[in-house]
Amino acid sequence: MLAVKTNKPIILTEEIQNKIREVIEQYPEGKSKSALLPVLHIVQDENAGWLSVEAMDKVAELMKLRPIEVYEVATFYSMYNLKPVGRFLLEVCHTGPCAIRKGEWLIDYLKKKLRINVGETTADGLFTLKTVECLGACGYAPMMQVGEYYYEFLETPEKVDKLLDDFRMKGFNKN
């Protein structure tokens, strides 16, 4: 399947460009390609949580790589989103240790509550629901990652509702 260009150019602020330069300079001379994963993380965070073709082309240009080298890497790792996502990407773990402690319940509950399926985004653009494999929080199941942090022990409807309300507030305040 081929990707479609959005034709929206990516503009990175001076600050972000400096941050990228700093990351690249950490690595030994001539090994700047090593910075590809961290740089993609930075650009994804800047680009509303996903990597468009333009964003990846920009990374290729900044790092003096061929675009295909960036596409190859970006499609390999599951943390890079190649389609737009909502303001809050709910990444719910569904691997064994979580699943035996209500992990599957958490997914079903979120589906009903948000009225979306896994992989979909709510109409207001606030939430995207995604299932992920083991995040290393097996003892604190069920859990999900949202942005930088983990939210653990989400075993009751009350806890999940509270969390979603908090996100809605945050989303509301920022808009």
Partner 1 sequence: MGKKILLEHINKPGIKSYEIYRQNGGYNSVEKALKELKPADIVEEVKKSGLRGRGGAGFPAGMKWSFIDKKSGNPRYLVCNADESEPGTFKDRYLMEFIPHLLIEGMITSCIALESNLGFIYIRGEYKWIKKILEQAIAEARAAGWLGHNILGTGYSLDLIVHPGAGAYICGEETALLESLEGKRGNPRMKPPFPAVKGLYGNPTVVNNVETIASVPWIINNGGDAYSKIGIGRSTGTKLISACGNINKPGVYEIELGLPVDEFLNSEEYCGGIKDGKMLKAVVAGGSSVPILPAELFYKTKKGEPRLMSYESLSDGGFESGTMLGSGGFIVYDEDQCIVRNTWNFSRFYHHESCGQCSPCREGTGWMEKVLHNLENGHGKMSDIDLLWDIQKKIDGNTICPLGDAAAWPVASAIRHFREEFEWHVEHAQEAQKRNYGLLKSTKEYFSALVV
Partner 2 sequence: MKVTIDNIEIDVEPSTTIMNAARKVGGDIVPPAMCYYTSLKGSGGKCRACLVKVAQGSTADPRPMPKLVASCCTNVQEGMVVQNITSPEVMETRKGIVEFLLINHPLDCPVCDQAGECDLQNFAFDHGRQQTRYDFERRTFDVINIGEDIKLHMTRCILCYRCTMVADQLTDGREHGILWRGDKSEISTYIQKAVENDFSGNMIDVCPVGALTDKHFRFRNRVWFLNPMDAHRDCKKCSGKVVLWMRGEEIFRVTGRKDQYNELKEFICNDCRFENYDSKNWIVDGPRDIANESVINANHYEEGTKALPKELYSKLNNEKWENV
Scan residues 114-173 and list those touching partner 1 (CB under 8 A). 132-141, 145, 148-149, 157
Alpha carbon of 14 to those of 11, 21, 49, 57, 174: distances in Å?
Answer: 9, 10, 19, 18, 23
Should residue 29 be labelled a site residue for partner 1 when binding is judged by CB under 8 A? no
Should residue 95 be labelled a site residue for partner 1 when binding is judged by CB under 8 A? yes
Which residues have CB under 8 Å from 17's CB, separation 6+?
62
Measured torsion, CA atoms of residues 60, 61, 66, 72, in degrees rounded to the nearest 10: 10
Should residue 94 be labelled a site residue for partner 1 when binding is judged by CB under 8 A? yes
Size of residue set near partner 1 by CB under 8 A? 48
**Is residue 78 a contact partner of residue 41, using CB atoms and an 8 Å limit?**
no
17 versus 75: smaller Cβ distance to partner 1? 75
DSSP lists the bridge partners of residue 127 as 88
66 versus 174: smaller Cβ distance to partner 2? 66
Should residue 50 be labelled a site residue for partner 1 when binding is judged by CB under 8 A? no
Should residue 59 be labelled a site residue for partner 2 when binding is judged by CB under 8 A? no
The contact set with partner 2 (CB under 8 A) reads: 1-3, 5, 53, 66-69, 71-72, 75-76
